[in-house]
Chains A and B, each alone.
Chain A
Amino acid sequence: MPLLKVSNIVSGYGRTEILHGVSMYVDQDEIVTIIGPNGAGKSTLFKTIMGYLIPSTGNILFLEEEVAKLEPNKKVERGMAYVPQLENVFLSLTVQENLEMGGYSRDSKKVREGVENAYDTFPVLKEKRNKKAHTLSGGQRQMLGMARALMTEPNLILIDEPSAGLDPRATEAVFNQIKNLHKEGVAIIIIEQDAYRSLNISDRGYVLAMGQNQFDDSADRILNNDQIREAYLGG
């Protein structure tokens, strides 16, 4: 049984339907990348999985339970985590407070341990613990966003465009962290513009287009598929 199983999701904003029956799954310990052109519905899929949008039809099974209608905070309590694109930290809160908010649902002892762990994993955050998050660079914010998401010790993390707005060096660092997370046994779904880099560390990939599944295969085979490469990976 996969960790997350999404079947035939129809979803969108108000009356505008964006996803017209999307299915996917993620196994424990897997990294899955979702690629597709702008407007394919990648972010909408994330918002639907997280519960910001309620699908009109279709099922979302997480840890073998139907969660399609649960609110985002309930899903986080059950072990999902979400790092949104760009707006991934509380800019007016300090680094420390951001981490504390990440562990909001947990008791204070667990939060303290989690914060210490986060500082071990991301030493740069420790130096800036009392600084407001808006003083951080793009790469540091992405790190903080991930550290915050990890505070609940999730089974699954959804990361929306981790390299958005980052220079190559910061992107490199972020992807290294994602690999580390994976080693610790967290399943990860990534939406990424920089599809090469993301597929390189992934087990499998999905191609979405026009709100529908276009193609899915192992990451290696997607990278070697001429048609997909031409259409979605820029040749």
Chain B
Amino acid sequence: MEDPTGAYPGRRGLISYVKLVIPFHFLPHARVDTYSKVLGYYNMDFSQIIANSLVRGAELSLLAIGLTMVFDILKFANFAHADYAVLGAFLVYSLNQVLGLSLFLAVILAAPATALIGICIDTAIFKPLRRKEAKVVTAMVCSLGIGIALRNILRLIWTSRTKTYAIPIQKPIEILGARLTFTQIGIVLTGFISMVIFHLLLHRTKFGKALRAISDNRVLASACAIDSEKVIKWMWFIACCYGVMGGTMIAMEHLLYPRLGFDILIPVFCAAILGGIGNPYGAMLGALTLALAENIVLALDFSYLISLGGLFEVGPIQISTGYKPAISFVILVAVLLFRPTGILGRK
């Protein structure tokens, strides 16, 4: 887990990078924080954990839904999915910070723009592969390449310096004992509304029914005169739009930098696989479960263990937030080992 502030190893040479990184990131598994530093966590109660999980769950599920949908229809894991989302988040940044549009308007413009790019990439790369009936792994490796290319294009255009949106500092408000900012409340609401819209899209619209039909039985779908290529284009559109919303939310909550897509890839995959890859409701459930797990693990206080059951005094000991991705990685490995179909399984 390198420094997300964009200090790339190439700049200072590998040796200094290794020296710099290893002591901080590979050796200590738990960090003894000073009391003041962890005060926020130490006082964190259950309602705060739930609130934080809802925020994180909303962000992740918006991303995981697109990933799982592409997997369901095209049968490959799109490793570039999170990078599409970050591309959208950067477009939002430019519209918001450079052109001065409101965040809401910026997302409304950036989401379809990113979707268009996603559709172009599909037409240029994945569609010819489908035509050739290429192996799934070929498409997967291509998506890895697209991800790398996108990350570097982002760096070229926006540099690797971290960015933030024009959001004023907010005073959190208290809801049922949990402290949330208006931004966070907005994230949870947007996530919730998006999920409801997605459900209606799948069950009430011709496109959604066709998408489910293709997922169910592709041979039969074309025997129904369903033009699957057209449906696939719309699927990319929805996947990208949802991804941009999720990516922007994560950037709003934390920071925006070109490698963000790579950093959120594992949590997003974990959420999709945890719920049952290919199942959009699984993606929502997986995202919430993962978010809850992350927040609980981060809130755990290990001082009782370290002090050997209270034999001597130590300050609270918690896992550094830098290890958040490790939590999803551990869950991912466990799910793949013990229940590869995820919580809900394939429909």
Interface pick from A25-33, A70-78, A163-171: A70-78
Cβ A84 vs Cβ B219 within 8 A: yes
| Chain B 204-216 near chain A by CB (<8 Å), digits 1 or 0 | 0010011011011
B209, B215, B217, B222: the one contacting A97 at CB < 8 Å is: B209
Chain B residue contacts of A74, Cβ below 8 A: 225
Cβ B223 vs Cβ A92 within 8 A: no
Cβ A90 vs Cβ B227 within 8 A: no
| Chain A 89-131 near chain B by CB (<8 Å), digits 1 or 0 | 1111100010011101100000000000000000000000000
Chain A residue contacts of B215, Cβ below 8 A: 92
Known: A90-B212, A93-B213, A101-B209. A50 touches B223 (CB 8 A): yes
A152 interface residue per 8 A CB criterion: yes
| Count of chain A residues near B, Cβ 8 A | 29
| Count of chain B residues near A, Cβ 8 A | 19
A91, A92, A101: the one contacting B224 at CB < 8 Å is: A101
Which residue of chain A is the closest to B221 with respect to CB atoms?
Answer: A101
Chain B residue contacts of A148, Cβ below 8 A: 224
Chain B residue contacts of A72, Cβ below 8 A: 222-223
Cβ B206 vs Cβ A104 within 8 A: yes
Which residue of chain B is the closest to A152 with respect to CB atoms?
Answer: B225
Q: How far is the CA of A92 from the CA of B203 in the complex (A)?
A: 12
Cβ B217 vs Cβ A87 within 8 A: yes
Q: How far is the CA of A97 from the CA of B220 in the complex (A)?
A: 13
Residues of A123-151 whose CB lies within 8 A of B? 148-149, 151
Chain B residue contacts of A62, Cβ below 8 A: none
Cβ A90 vs Cβ B225 within 8 A: no
Which residue of chain A is the closest to B209 with respect to CB atoms?
Answer: A97
A88, A92, A104: the one contacting B212 at CB < 8 Å is: A92
Q: How far is the CA of A71 from the CA of B224 in the complex (A)?
A: 12
B254 interface residue per 8 A CB criterion: no
Q: How far is the CA of A90 from the CA of B226 in the complex (A)?
A: 13
Chain B residue contacts of A50, Cβ below 8 A: 223
Classify the secondary structure of B's interface with A. Answer: helix
Chain B residue contacts of A100, Cβ below 8 A: 206, 209
Which residue of chain B is the closest to A77 with respect to CB atoms?
Answer: B225
B130 interface residue per 8 A CB criterion: no
Q: How far is the CA of A176 from the CA of B270 in the complex (A)?
A: 52
B31 interface residue per 8 A CB criterion: no
B339 interface residue per 8 A CB criterion: no
Cβ B224 vs Cβ A102 within 8 A: yes
Known: A73-B227, A104-B206. A90 touches B213 (CB 8 A): yes
A84, A91, A93: the one contacting B223 at CB < 8 Å is: A84
Chain B residue contacts of A83, Cβ below 8 A: 223
A87, A105, A151: the one contacting B220 at CB < 8 Å is: A87
Q: How far is the CA of A105 from the CA of B222 in the complex (A)?
A: 11
Q: How far is the CA of A72 from the CA of B214 in the complex (A)?
A: 14
B29 interface residue per 8 A CB criterion: no
Cβ B212 vs Cβ A76 within 8 A: no
Residues of A42-75 whose CB lies within 8 A of B? 50, 52, 71-74
B161 interface residue per 8 A CB criterion: no
Q: How far is the CA of A151 from the CA of B228 in the complex (A)?
A: 19
Q: How far is the CA of A151 from the CA of B209 in the complex (A)?
A: 16
Cβ B222 vs Cβ A71 within 8 A: yes
Chain A min CB distance to B284 (Å): 18
Known: A93-B212, A93-B213, A97-B209. A105 touches B219 (CB 8 A): no
Question: What are the 5 tightest A-B residue pairs by CB atom distance, in nearest-first order?
Answer: A105-B225, A76-B225, A72-B222, A82-B223, A90-B216
Q: List 10 A-B contacts (CB under 8 A).
A: A50-B223, A73-B226, A74-B225, A87-B220, A88-B220, A97-B213, A100-B206, A101-B210, A101-B224, A104-B210
List residues of chain B with CB under 8 Å of any chain A CB: 206, 209-210, 212-213, 215-217, 219-228, 347
Instruction: Given contacts A76-B223, A87-B217, list 6 more A-B pairs with CB under 8 A.
Output: A81-B223, A89-B217, A90-B217, A92-B216, A101-B210, A101-B224
